[in-house]
Amino acid sequence: MTNNDNDPYAGLLNPTPNGNEAVRLPFPALYLAWSNGAPNMKHQGGIFYHGGWAGKAEQLAQYPDVQLPKSFSSFAQTSRDGNTWDAFGGRTVTAAIVASRQRFYDFNDPTSISLTWRQGFTNHIQWLAAMFVDGSLRQFVPVVLTTKGMQAKHMNDALKAWREALTSADGKLGRYPISAFAITLGSHGDEPTFERVGKAPKQSTIRPCTWPGATAHPT
């Protein structure tokens, strides 16, 4: 992954001509992917209804001393094809975005990857970030946040809105890189606003990832 400057979309990584090569980070990091909420899961609430960030619990065995935000919990997650696994996560993360990479994959064959958009391919952006454990912003955990499809666009939109709000409040802050700030990203509020995306017969309902505000990084 490469460093971002002021623009969160700068420095997208192109590891190989076809984009298939995995990135080897020089330090341990947890992987969290956006999980869409669902209107029919209101009785369960939390990430199941509102949407949020989730990762496979098996990762935690590699980092037994890692501290997670108190808002995180453990739960069982089920994929569209019926596979179930132990997971952890929460509705929001507060993190400093460090770098990003973008590629596209075939919706019908996820192993087919391209660095440029093609008909029938889906957007896939990963964000390397420092996820803060609590409001003091003194302790963080390296994470890779994954967004796909329309959620990748919503993540981009949230970061754009953050940058615009920041520079509107104080133009001098616009000269600092995005990694100098802690941004809360996820699902917010008591009642979610859902969105229908895709075309029949591959339509789905999602809860957009949003940004409600930003906090300056203490450094």
> Which of 135-149, 172-186, 196-210 comes out lowest in average pLDDT?
196-210
What is the SS3 string spanning the chain? CEECCCCCCCCCCCCCCCCCCCCCCCCCCEEEEEECCCHHHCCCCHHHHHCEEEEEHHHHHHCCCCCCCCCCEEEEEECCCCCEEEEEEECEEEEEEEEEEEEEEECCEEEEEECCCCCCEEEEEEEEEEEECCCCCCCEEEEEEEEECHHHHHHHHHHHHHHHHHHHHCHHHHHCCHHHEEEEEECCCCCCCCEEECCCCCCEEECCCECCCEEECCC
Give the pLDDT confidence of 55-93 residue by residue, as tens digits. Answer: 999 999 888 888 999 999 999 988 777 788 899 999 999
pLDDT of residue 201: 64
pLDDT (average), residues 118-122: 76
For all residues of the chain together, what is the average pLDDT?
79
Q: Are 47 and 137 in contact (CB under 8 A)?
A: no
Q: What is the pLDDT of residues 129-171, one digit of tens each?
A: 999 999 899 999 999 999 988 888 888 888 888 888 888 888 8
Give the domain extent around 89.
Answer: 2-216
Which pTM value belongs to this model?
0.80
Summarize pLDDT for 17-40 with one digit per residue, the tens.
Answer: 344 455 677 888 999 999 888 878
**106 pLDDT above the threshold of 90:** no
Q: How many domains does the chain have?
A: 1
